[in-house]
Structure 1
Amino acid sequence: MADKRRIAAGFGIATPIVTLGAILLATLVAPPETFTWSDRALSDMGRPDAATFWLFNGGLVVGGLLGVPFVWRLWVGARNTLERAGTVCYGLAIVGMFFVGVFFLEHTAWYLETELHAPAALAFFGLAPVSNWILGAGAVHAGDRTWGLVTVGAGIAHVLTWVAWILYVTTTATRPMAWFAVPEMVAAVLFGGWTVLAARRFLGPSSFAFPSLSS
């Protein structure tokens, strides 16, 4: 069982590497008519006519699949009801990320009449900070105060990122979706970064991890 738990924890490192790696690579190779940080959303790189279609959507789909074992590791490592509830929210955020790739922009031209990209994206961006808040509260309740506050702080950072962008577009920007990709990327990095730290805690002490969790 210990080996299974370590392997599952390792998926918590693999998931952000694959997903964020694919997104970052896509931003580098996407032509300007497909993506620019100032004018486009990240999901524009996943449109069917984009050269980055397979890279961007594939990274989200594969990353979502890789995240499943880590969700299980979070569940079996949960120390109270709050941490289990937070794990459910985290798992649903992973599902949302997976379906962002499945229900790419303009997927209705290929299959399904109902547009499902926006609900999938909202599930990810909405549930990611909620999972941090609940998991953090659970860690504090378990006496793991430092990690709990870090986790809650990650969730707050998600929200502050979006608040800062909304303030920018409502007071300064000349276009309603200007620089929309930036808060998307920041939110994705916060989610992935927290996942890596949580995985490292399960795997054991390191130079950047906090005290390890009890199983």
Structure 2
Amino acid sequence: MTETKRLATYCGIAAPLVTLGAILIATLVAPPETFTWRTRALSDMGRYGAPTFPLFNGGLIVGGLIGLPFAWRLWTASRNRLERAGIALLVVTVVGQIGVGIFFLEHTAVYLERSLHPVAALSVFGVAPFAGWVYGTGAARAGDTRLAVASIAIGFVHPLTWAGWVLALDGAVDTDTWFAVPEFVAAVAFGSWILLLAVTIAYRHDDPDWSAR
């Protein structure tokens, strides 16, 4: 493994830690009028003028940028078209994450007349599970059963979490009630998958037969 590829693999470990760390710290320091788990979305911490504005948005942007080199590393280690398709969806998710930070809530007060925040958020939460399912299917085709099962299973965390949230609200979709909880669970699921992929790539280099065991 070249030094460039090694650093790119490490990016797969650093990216979710930076992103999730920034989100978690923001939830701890945000004043109640800005964020509570019960009444706010995570993006409220990145709203224009919020005290956690630089921490939350900066964490999403920096974490996403760190994740892009890992996507390249993953692509170089891909074994078939399905894995590459899953990686492409992963990139869409990461770019969406960066977009959430750039197109923060009420960014229209600073630039642009049209809010792009919903589009960026949908790119994250809507595409992430498909990335896991498609990549996992490719891993299965490559004979990497453990990675396939883990990727597909983590992908299912997203819809199951959102479905559980909707059911808990008696079928009502209310972004003002506990909305941050499924958002955070989905973010942790995606970050965990990235960590899994990074560790897998590292082990695969050290032991080429690891995935077949």
Same fold (TM over 0.5): yes
Flag structure 2 segments of 5+ consecutive residues without an equivalent.
Answer: none
Flag structure 1 segments of 5+ consecutive residues without an equivalent.
Answer: 206-210
CA contact (8 A) 1:27 1:35 kept: yes
The whole-number CA distance in structure 2 between the counterparts of 1:139 and 1:175 is 37
The whole-number CA distance in structure 2 between the counterparts of 1:65 and 1:213 is 28
Instruction: Report the residue type matching 2:41 in the other structure.
Output: A
Please give the per-residue CA displacement for 1:92-138, whole angstroms capped at 9, x wherever unaligned: 10000000000000000100001100000000101110000000000
TM-score by length of 2: 0.93
The whole-number CA distance in structure 1 between the counterparts of 2:28 and 2:126 is 27
Matched, 1:47 2:43: no
- 1:82-121 equivalences under 5 Å are 82-121=82-121
CA contact (8 A) 1:169 1:177 kept: no
Give the share of equivalent positions with the same residue, in percent: 55
Other-structure match for 1:67: 67
The whole-number CA distance in structure 2 between the counterparts of 1:6 and 1:174 is 43
Instruction: Report the residue type matching 2:196 in the other structure.
Output: L
The whole-number CA distance in structure 2 between the counterparts of 1:212 and 1:145 is 11
Other-structure match for 2:136: 136
Instruction: Report the residue type matching 1:16 in the other structure.
Output: P
CA contact (8 A) 1:71 1:90 kept: yes
Other-structure match for 2:196: 197
CA contact (8 A) 1:96 1:120 kept: yes
CA contact (8 A) 2:146 2:211 kept: no
The whole-number CA distance in structure 2 between the counterparts of 1:64 and 1:19 is 7
How far residue 166 of structure 1 moved from its aligned partner, in angstroms, is 1.1
Other-structure match for 1:7: 7
* Segment drifting more, 175-184 vs 100-109: 175-184
Please give the per-residue CA displacement for 1:54-86, whole angstroms capped at 9, x wherever unaligned: 000000010111011001011111100000000
CA contact (8 A) 1:202 1:212 kept: no
CA contact (8 A) 1:125 1:187 kept: yes
The whole-number CA distance in structure 2 between the counterparts of 1:129 and 1:158 is 6
Other-structure match for 2:187: 188
Instruction: Report the residue type matching 1:186 in the other structure.
Output: V
Please give the per-residue CA displacement for 1:16-61, whole angstroms capped at 9, x wherever unaligned: 1110000000000000000000000000000112100000000001
- 1:27-46 equivalences under 5 Å are 27-46=27-46
The whole-number CA distance in structure 2 between the counterparts of 1:4 and 1:146 is 27
- 1:145-184 equivalences under 5 Å are 145-171=145-171, 177-184=176-183
Aligned-residue RMSD, C-alpha: 1.7
TM-score by length of 1: 0.92
The whole-number CA distance in structure 2 between the counterparts of 1:174 and 1:2 is 48
CA contact (8 A) 2:40 2:175 kept: no
How far residue 177 of structure 1 moved from its aligned partner, in angstroms, is 3.1
Say which SS state the counterpart of residue 183 (structure 2) adopts. helix
User: How many aligned positions are there?
Assistant: 208
